[in-house]
A and B are shown apart, each in its own frame.
Chain A
Amino acid sequence: MDLDLDERTTGFRDEVRAWLAEHVPRTPLASFDTAAGFEEHRAWEAKLADARLSVVSWPEEFGGRDRSLLEWVLFEEEYYAARAPGRVSQNGIFMLAPTLFSHGTDEQRHRILPAMARGEQIWAQAWSEPEAGSDIAALRSTARRTGGGWLLNGQKTWSSRASFADRAFGLFRSDPEARRHHGLTYVMVDLRADGVTVRPIPQLDGEPGFAELFFDNVFVPDRDVIGEPGEGWRVAMTTANNERGLSLRSPGRFLAAANALVREWRGAGEPAGTAERVADAWIGARAYQLYTFGTVSRLEAGGKLGPESSVNKLFWSRLDVDLHETALDLLGPEAEVSPEWTDGWLFSLAGPIYGGTDQIQRSTVAERLLGLPR
């Protein structure tokens, strides 16, 4: 067991650090949940891609660098430490792409991934429905067979980035006779297609970070189905584990925030009242980093990401909220006028809800890791 980095890895990390130091915008971009900010972030994705830093762990043929999972984790640490812009493309690169790598065809990968890596196509997720939140298998939107493809009907909601995104991916019921997890199909759909209506929904910060999607006989060609029709649940589980597990919340985010929190605490004269919580936030971020190193080592030794990803999500979602609450308590009356912390706080509040609520994750841990009865 060791935590040593070889020369190839440190060389890569140093390159990333130097590039970010030179290129990260001095003033933060506008929120990617505004029309203007969305395009600024899209341009940033292109800039990252020009340096071949947008998707470092992907194969080179799709715009990546064939870097290891460990190097991806280190990339993320550098990225957050440099306070680089949020990834407007995260739904695509962290959720859809792993699904395409596991279940897509060569044609799909070549058609979709390079454009995703450059930010030319930005993806929204389309999981939840008005009657299917935690109980995602209760979804009712349909995909009906038609010549050369499928016709989508129904409604999706809480669709992150959909207000301005180009395309979306999600599950639709293709076999009306089948129940629950059966008869679902994993579909990619153009949000500009005929029959799609996008209704932006403002989030807590007032910006339309998600949207409702209405589908009225929207045509989707066969080539935009991932995996076999009717097998969508199994296909989607790849994505779900990625969302809960390694990808959407890399340890870099928490380490950067925890280090910033310690600096704030020091700057405030090391108040005793918050010392315990500040220390716990830092310890939690370090624990999550090391836990991730362990997961990466396990995966690189041939292991798989299973229900442990629920442990992961339970931990970081709580850490993120606690860390930001601590910062706000530390700042006192300054807190409410400190967007560098309130933005992160508002963002953190979504963590225990999306990707399966923390209550669902606890049940998953209890049933699948501990073997308690359903």
Chain B
Amino acid sequence: MKFLLSEEQDRFAASVDDLLANREVDSATRAWARGEHDEGRKLWRALAEIGVTALGVPERYDGLGASDLDLVVAFDRLGYHAVPGPWTDTVAVLPALLDDELLAGVAAGDTLASVAFGPHVPYALDADIADTRVAVDGTALHIFRPASRLSSVDGARRLFRIEPGERIGEADPGRAFELGALTTAAYLLGAGQWLLDASVGHAKQRRQYGKPIGGFQAVKHLLADVVTGLELAKPLVHAAALTLAPRDVSAAKVAAGRAAHLAARTGLQVHGAIGYTGEHPLGLRLTKVRALRSAWGTPAFHRARVLESV
């Protein structure tokens, strides 16, 4: 047993960080929320160039055929930088639903997918700009058209009602669903880590009563609980990537959702009013965490799955 990420995985995560640290991801996210996708598409292509979009695609379609753990490593970083777009749908879920040469477009970063997965994912993310739209209904796969747009609590999550169309085939959707939940958990973990880092940075700089607020025990103890939640959720996410067993994926989703949620709530409290403004990047994560906590299976659904399998 060696329950540690490999050096290659650490390096890959660092390369995603390097790429995104030099770009205006938050500005791209705000534009994405307004329906302006150019900046976000540029990010998508840049990430495709270092292999992120090819991870889940088999080698026969020019993908990397990487492990589920590699996907988790990537999604953790996507979450950290809160990169907008249908990443889970395109990079994790679609390759597990289809065995089709259109996956070559996914690998290359040219194709964006939007997946509806009833009953857990009733609304389709970014369906207006997706090149491939698939609705999963039991084992049946349909294409769908986007209907009316819904307003998500997270402005960058552009969700659409769906109008199911032609049936295009059958699939055992089990693996696709697990990957949807797993990569969402990894994204939440990364988002939680950013919220913690930003809050610690703020607590060191912001002075009140003549000293940094991070010197007050009330603030320290809040942040210590955030660390504990994130540190103990991480191994669940990694283990779930190794087994992809429903029990493990569900445990990971529950724990990552809770840890990220605590990081978001604590982050807002530590930042105070500045965190409540639309200008501060904290809000971009806070609303996304809230939305993702219930995406790809609610905490109650995932807890029930854990209890079924213990």
Interface residues of chain A, those whose CB is within 8 Å of chain B, are: 1-5, 9, 70, 259, 262, 265, 270, 275-276, 278-280, 282-284, 286-288, 290-291, 293-294, 296-298, 301, 308, 310-311, 314-315, 359, 361-363, 365-367, 369-374
CB pair A362–B238 under 8 Å, yes or no, is: no
CB pair A293–B215 under 8 Å, yes or no, is: no
CB pair A259–B235 under 8 Å, yes or no, is: no
CB pair A287–B255 under 8 Å, yes or no, is: yes
14 A-B pairs with CB atoms under 8 Å apart are A9-B1, A70-B1, A280-B303, A283-B254, A283-B255, A287-B233, A291-B235, A311-B227, A314-B228, A315-B231, A362-B217, A362-B224, A372-B219, A373-B212
Which chain B positions have C-beta within 8 A of A374?
Answer: 215
CB pair A372–B203 under 8 Å, yes or no, is: yes
Question: In the complex the two chains form, what is the Cα distance from A373 to B216 in whole Å?
Answer: 9
Contact check: which of B5, B224, B238 meets A314 at CB < 8 Å?
B224
Which chain B positions have C-beta within 8 A of A262?
Answer: 307, 310
CB pair B5–A1 under 8 Å, yes or no, is: yes
Question: In the complex the two chains form, what is the Cα distance from A296 to B4 in whole Å?
Answer: 10
Tell me the minimal C-beta distance from A322 to chain B in angstroms.
13
A-B contact count (CB 8 A): 141
CB pair B232–A363 under 8 Å, yes or no, is: no
CB pair B221–A362 under 8 Å, yes or no, is: yes
CB pair A1–B228 under 8 Å, yes or no, is: no
Which chain A positions have C-beta within 8 A of B211?
Answer: 373
Contact check: which of A3, A270, A371 meets B239 at CB < 8 Å?
A3
Which chain B positions have C-beta within 8 A of A282?
Answer: 251, 306-307, 310
Given A2-B3, A279-B306, residue A311 in contact with residue B228 (CB < 8 A): yes
Find the residue from B3, B204, B227, B242 having the highest chain A CB count within 10 A. B3
Which chain B positions have C-beta within 8 A of A290?
Answer: 3, 235-236, 238-239
Which chain B positions have C-beta within 8 A of A5?
Answer: 1
The answer to whether B225 has its CB under 8 Å from any CB of chain A is yes
CB pair A2–B242 under 8 Å, yes or no, is: yes
Question: In the complex the two chains form, what is the Cα distance from A22 to B129 in whole Å?
Answer: 65
Nearest A-chain residue to B241, judged by Cβ? A1
CB pair A297–B231 under 8 Å, yes or no, is: no
Nearest B-chain residue to A259, judged by Cβ? B310
Which chain B positions have C-beta within 8 A of A2?
Answer: 1-3, 242
Question: In the complex the two chains form, what is the Cα distance from A204 to B3 in whole Å?
Answer: 39
Q: Which of B184-220 contact A (CB under 8 A)?
A: 200, 203-204, 211-212, 214-215, 217, 219-220
Which chain A positions have C-beta within 8 A of B231?
Answer: 291, 308, 311, 315
The answer to whether B50 has its CB under 8 Å from any CB of chain A is no
CB pair B204–A373 under 8 Å, yes or no, is: yes
Tell me the minimal C-beta distance from B309 to chain A in angstroms.
10
Q: Which of B1-28 contact A (CB under 8 A)?
A: 1-6, 9
Tell me the minimal C-beta distance from B190 to chain A in angstroms.
17
Nearest B-chain residue to A314, judged by Cβ? B228
CB pair A373–B215 under 8 Å, yes or no, is: yes
